[in-house]
Amino acid sequence: MSLLLLKSATIIDATGKHHLKKRDVLIEKGVIKKIATSLQEKGAREIELPNLHISRGWFDSSVSFGEPGYEERENISNGLRTAAFSGFTQVAVNPNTNPVTDTKAGVQFLKAKAEGNPVSLFPVGALTVRGEGKDLAELYDMYNEGAVAFGDYKNPVKNPNLLKIALQYCQNFNALVQSMPYEPQVATKGVMNEELNSTRLGLKGIPALAEELQITRDLYLLEYTGGKLHIPTISTKTGVELIRNAKKKGLNVSCSVAVANLMLTDDELEEFDTNYKLLPPLRAEADRKALIKGLKDGTIDGVTSDHDPIDIENKKTEFDHAMFGSIGLESSFGALNAVLGTELAVQALTSLKERFGVPSAALEEGSTANITLFDPEPDYAFSEKDIRSTSMNSAMLGKKLKGRAYGIYSNKKLVLNK
């Protein structure tokens, strides 16, 4: 469609002049042509939706789709469709596939599968060969093919010298290195947060120390080497404080938090529901509050759904043996909006774009139209009918959420929930 007219849309874009104003927005051939109080345009397709709000397109920095190798969990086509219906115009896709995305051919495969899609896919390359933590992967080749960051998904860099070399090497082409905040020798075989609840339930705990030791180590390495470091999905009060102090020292570090850790605590594990078996684990209420505070004051740079589809055979089993992970794209906005409010939720869903080198177009005349459409008001309990992913392993099932995405306009394509 060459002409599209969004009617009576409340604009959420804190950096723009139309913030919190209700406007008509005319889009022509993928570019915002005009924004005004009232517009009429002959031949334009008009979109008029109840309580329509729009913002810059949302970006998720940590999404897993399974393909290649684990298509029974999720394939790229359905994963991107799920992202679009959930309000995401851009996603960074993790390398936890089979084979692992550790070569330029792997990056090319992901980009080719997503070509022409309304949602833009940005590959995250594995930091090490096969994600095994022994030898650096083909980082420069993957970077040239379009990888936006490098990290071994959910696998910590055990060898500090390897991370040191990676941070030094990646400075040559200004690449972003990710390091999972998880010390496996401290976490051992833990399956949930180590605190009162783990003792009471008789489950092995993952102490906050496992996160905090790794963050401390990685920040010392960053201070020594320079470079750009991103610490994904922090979960503890002390972890927030460590990064806050590092930023005050001027270190080039960023971090994210998973939506589940902002909304839920380890009290959820009372019934041994494996949907709540997550990594990082759900922590205590004091940690949850510290994470929210860190997001509000800018210590935490943004949020991720940490969308990780797991097939039923690996999820519906004994708690100790179940795989870590939850899907999250479909519930992200509703959960964030319920916890943070609309303006901060939108900011959290867009603020990591620059860090990952993802385009971020303002809602202004002349800008490329990369837009999320949503209604922040509906209250509802998240249920299986709200899930579009192939896998159903959601930690948000039954939770009270607020707000729904209508869809997106991106790459000259409109996707609306039917």
Residue of 266, 301, 306, 311 marked active site: 306
* Whether 273 is catalytic: no
- Length reported for the chain: 418
> Can you give the three-state secondary structure of the chain, one letter per residue?
CCEEEEEEEEEECCCCCCCCCEEEEEEECCEEEEEECCCCCCCCEEECCCCCEEEECEEEEEECCCCCCCCCCCCHHHHHHHHHHCCEEEEEECCCCCCCCCCHHHHHHHHHHHCCCCCEEEEEECCEHHHCCCCECCHHHHHHHCCCEECCCCCCCCCHHHHHHHHHHHHHHCCEEECCCCCHHHHCCCCEECCHHHHHHCCCEECHHHHHHHHHHHHHHHHHHCCEEEECCCCCHHHHHHHHHHHHCCCCEEEEEEHHHHHCCHHHHHHCCHHHCCCCCCCCHHHHHHHHHHHHCCCCCEEECCECCCCHHHHCCCCCCCCCCEECCCCHHHHHHHHHCHHHHHHHHHCCCCCCCCCCCCCCCCCECCEEEEEEEEEEECCHHHCCCCCCCECCCCCEEEEEEEEEEECCEEEECC
What is the set of active-site residues?
306
